[in-house]
Structure 1
């Protein structure tokens, strides 16, 4: 894995403003994994300047993944010289495993997430946010902490949950969670057949997925949409990305 970050991308990896929503969209052959690793690396490697009069909060990350387990992120970020186990011991990182069942606390700070009950899912994630805030209070009294919530493939919940009106229920859960953290980064699948079903009678799942992803994009402060190269695969490059800074007027239009 290349450790080089394109210089044009670097400004977008900085810690976003409070209440910000960043959406990273992928298609088949252009995964968001590489980009998501850079966001995690940027947030966890960031150290606020130290001075007697500097009260800038430190940053902690709560990573929730519904398609990938902890070893996947652990091994991938180790190639970027980021030790997730070490960050978890410092109380700056927590992983909620939505793919399999792990226990809290466990290696890497993994948390259990069983079933498709959205209330339980939300409760586990909120408990993770609370845990990160409490650990910081125990270590550094009086100093604030910003928790960034990173959710990998929340659209999986739309397909897997048995809840009625699943897309709206998951979106409402996202809104509730965003109120409890500094900012939020989401990855979603945006393949054309999922967003624009070709059939005249799309399935309920196709309709739900399309509505969910498009609603997130309209609410986002920034969208990074990955796609394949028009010229095919190049040497060392298989995809490219388009970054859109979305203002309030643009999001509503």
Structure 2
């Protein structure tokens, strides 16, 4: 039974994946986050049960912007989903792209400071750069004031202690025993493909369901590794889409005006981001975009969501939204939405006053 209580009725046809293999694009802006919409996709695919007309999909979420704890809390709050349980059941896998980004930043610190950045965490790195924050003693001469600063170092582990095998955000590598949780350790396209394929394979063997692959902010790769071009990433998408059990790919990218409208002269990162959004849009069967109101901030409206169905996608196959008998004439649909503090979402048409 579809989780109708968690997904607004107007949004239901658009978070349901098209019947045929396809690529979808989701865009957002700085003032209008798309996290709530990604959670609704997870809700629709992971809340379905075996034996129904729509058994849903397994989901592999690859995020370069947000760690697993964020998605776990948001899924529980907004959709009543237990992602930990889904990982144990082989329905869901998470690939942490922050691990690769952290390694890149650690390498920069190591090169500039001449220290082994992998031997210390990110917080001590900042402390090493700024130096210990010790306040001078105040008061009359001879007064002894205990110095303030970082706490004393913890005693070294005994030789018999077992080595640590995990980090605060998950397993230390993509081969750890933690089920359904992987960490990218490289920014190279070949390594990214290998890690994502490793996350997809166990889901294919655990159930007969097909797999939805979600990329959250892969545009960050363009900034972290200038050697990666938009063509490299779109090629990676198509290669992963050819895997037998991967039927749909949903990509979330930023679409703020400063990122799409090139400056004068255009900067290389601007050009790369612009080209990535355009390429993904041409390849996508459905485009969903969230943005703020054109008229400014409103108390009862969080933003605008626009959905456009491509009548012919990149390999020249026609389609439409299932159940949309009348069609929209290629103009797309546009609704207002409000994300509440309890994680629920209202979606309504303009002029409906939030009822719908």
Instruction: Give me the TM-score of the superposition, normalised by structure 1.
Output: 0.86
Q: Residues 29-178 of structure 1 correspond to what in structure 2 (within 5 A)?
A: 29-49=31-51, 59-79=57-77, 80-100=79-99, 102-103=170-171, 104=174, 105=176, 109-136=180-207, 144-163=208-227, 166-178=229-241
Instruction: Classify the secondary structure of the residue corresponding to 2:307.
Output: strand
How many Å apart are 1:64 and its aligned residue? 0.5
Q: Distance in 2 between matches of 1:82 and 1:73?
A: 10
CA deviation string 1:105-145 (max 9, x = no partner): 56562102012111100110011111211223xxxxxxx32
| Per-residue deviation, 1:57 | 6.2
**1:248 aligns to what SS in structure 2?**
coil
Q: Which has the higher helix share?
A: 1
Q: Do the aligned partners of 2:182 and 2:195 also contact (CA within 8 Å) in 1?
A: yes
Aligned residues: 237
Matched, 1:193 2:258: yes
Say if 2:284 is the partner of 1:220.
yes
2:126 aligns to what? none
Contact 2:283 2:314 in 1 (8 A): no
Q: Distance in 2 between matches of 1:39 and 1:241?
A: 15
Where does structure 1 lack aligned partners over 5 or more consecutive residues?
137-143
5+ long unaligned stretches in structure 2: 101-169, 317-356
Conserved 8 A contact 2:6-2:40: no
Query: How far apart are 1:196 and its partner, in Å?
Result: 1.5
Kindly indicate whether the alpha-carbon contact (under 8 Å) linking 2:60 and 2:200 is maintained by their aligned counterparts in 1. yes
Cα distance in 2 between the residues matched to 1:238 and 1:24: 17
CA distance in 2, matches of 1:156, 1:249: 26
Change (3 A) 1:58 1:220: closer
Deviation at 1:230, TM superposition (A): 2.3
Residues 194-225 of structure 1: CA deviation (Å, up to 9, x unaligned): 1121x231111110110011110111000011
Answer with 1 or 2: which has the greater Rg: 2
Q: CA deviation at 1:249?
A: 6.7
Tell whether the 8 Å contact from 1:220 to 1:251 is kept in structure 2 after alignment. no
**Corresponding position of 1:140:** none
Contact persistence 2:97–2:184 (CA under 8 A): yes
Judge conservation of contact 1:232–1:238 (CA < 8 Å) in 2: no
**Contact 2:44 2:56 (C-alpha < 8 Å) held by counterparts:** no
Any runs of at least 4 consecutive aligned residues in structure 1 with deviations exceeding 4 A, and if so which?
A: 104-108, 249-252
Work out whether residues 61 and 147 of structure 1, in 8 Å CA contact, stay in contact via their aligned partners in 2: yes
SS in 1 for 2:215: strand
Offset at residue 251 of structure 1 (A):
9.4
Aligned partner (choices 18, 21, 32) of residue 19 of structure 1: 21
- Normalised to the residue count of structure 2, the TM-score between the two structures is 0.62
CA separation of 1:146/1:38 partners in 2, compared to 1, >3 Å: closer, same or farther? same
Equivalent in the alignment of 2:353: none
In structure 2, distance between residues paired with 1:40 and 1:115: 27
Q: Please state how far the C-alpha of 1:100 moved relative to its aligned partner.
A: 2.6
Partner of 2:17, secondary structure, is: coil
Structure 1 partner of 2:9: 7
- 2:250, 2:261 → 1: CA distance? 24
